[in-house]
Amino acid sequence: MAGLPQPDTIANEIFETASKRREEARGYLGMSSIGDPCERKLWYMFRGFTPVPPEGRALMIFELGKRIEDILIEYLRESGYRIEATQTAFDDFNRLFRGHCDGVIHGITQRPHILEIKSANRKKFDNFKSDGVQKTYPVYWAQVQCYMGYAGLERALVVVYCKDNSDIYSERIHFNRHEFEELRRKAYRIIIADDAPGKAFAQDSLECRYCDYRILCWNPTEHIQTVGQCKNCVWLKWDGLSPICSHRNHSFPVHHLDRKCDDWSLALFVKTPFIKEDGTLVMPFDSHPRYQWWNGGQSIADTLAELGADPGVIEDYVWRWEERAGIIEADDGLPRYEAERRALEITPVYPKAA
């Protein structure tokens, strides 16, 4: 007779099933996370980098939270409050910044309130009660500031449900236009950033230890990217809010950030070229491909200009390099690409395996 499944096996099977319900990466920057203090993390999210896979248990907690939302809305309605506009969507910056509120609730005061429902364990719940939403979970506070700003409302109601004992905490939050504009500016800054913003915390901080992007951020060579898209391609650049492909072979505006072509390469490069005191350009082999002129990247002159090189240095480099490439091309009958490569070998631009 086949053995009965063991309790641990059953739990593991459930967690495994839950882990498969992972949501696809969103194609936008979410208002529900814009209050996070690490802009680098928000940039990773926005650009569709693969996070550390969450455990099935964590996903189950998240799903439970969503169901609690529905249950509480039912209870609020039965208690006499009118709730409308559930899951109303807000967006900005060509729909690259988006959010959905839980609803708009009427009957709290004479003014309608944005409704946001959250759930928490006992410890966190007690913090909400003693310190309020802004101090306990500034990300929630920022989220409702965005919703109020985009909905044109001046009040929000946050209802927190305690998962341990069904206790309920509610707090009214006033709109703060200054904070709203700050959050908008932050969203814009992250959307148009060509490279990852700086790290906000130290590697051994609690924030980094629990961050879904800790491997990508601190050990990028161990990162596993499961989805390649224009938005996480190293050739993507922003012209204001317009994404463009900067690959020399096919520069064009990018209309679908979630697609990719054969030249896709993950935007993980962190090394930049630099100029030594004697004016020599040092080009790490694994520098960002946009500097790799031999790989479709920008010209040496553009790189030197970007690094703030003296105009004399730029002229000297370009003159020497281009002249040599032209001579080699003509004398040896080589294609331009090969002639440029040879010219580089004898012009003092030193690729370095950093």
Asked if 40 interacts with ligand SF4 (CB under 6 A), we say: yes
Shortest distance (Å) from residue 246 CB to ligand SF4: 7
Residue 123 CA to residue 354 CA, distance in Å, equals 47
List binders of ligand SF4 among 264-283 (CB under 6 A). Answer: 264
Taking CB under 6 A as the criterion, the residue among 59, 114, 217, 349 binding ligand SF4 is 217
Asked if 41 interacts with ligand SF4 (CB under 6 A), we say: yes
Asked if 223 interacts with ligand SF4 (CB under 6 A), we say: no
Separation in Å, CA 224 to CA 18, 103, 207, 278 = 21, 37, 21, 40
Question: Among the candidate windows 93-101, 146-154, 212-220, 320-328, which touches ligand SF4 by CB under 6 A?
Answer: 212-220
Q: What are phi and psi of 209, to 5 degrees?
A: -65, -30
Task: Spell out the residues 6+ positions from residue 116 whose beta carbon is closer than 8 angstroms to its own.
Answer: 101, 102, 140, 143, 144, 147, 156, 157, 158, 159
Counted residue by residue, the chain has a size of: 354
Asked if 261 interacts with ligand SF4 (CB under 6 A), we say: yes
Separation in Å, CA 103 to CA 84, 162, 291 = 6, 20, 48
Shortest distance (Å) from residue 145 CB to ligand SF4: 22
Asked if 76 interacts with ligand SF4 (CB under 6 A), we say: no
Shortest distance (Å) from residue 232 CB to ligand SF4: 9
Asked if 29 interacts with ligand SF4 (CB under 6 A), we say: no
Taking CB under 6 A as the criterion, the residue among 236, 325, 328, 343 binding ligand SF4 is 236
Q: What are phi and psi of 86, to 5 degrees?
A: -65, 140
Shortest distance (Å) from residue 179 CB to ligand SF4: 21
Nearer to ligand SF4, 247 or 324 (CB): 247
Q: What are phi and psi of 314, to 5 degrees?
A: -60, -50
Nearer to ligand SF4, 186 or 247 (CB): 247
Closest CA to 183 of 87, 26, 39, 25: 39
Closest CA to 187 of 13, 31, 330, 62: 31
Closest CA to 144 of 129, 155, 131: 155
Asked if 199 interacts with ligand SF4 (CB under 6 A), we say: yes
Footprint of ligand SF4 (CB under 6 A): 38, 40-41, 199-201, 207-208, 211, 213-214, 217, 230, 233, 235-236, 245, 247, 254, 260-261, 263-264
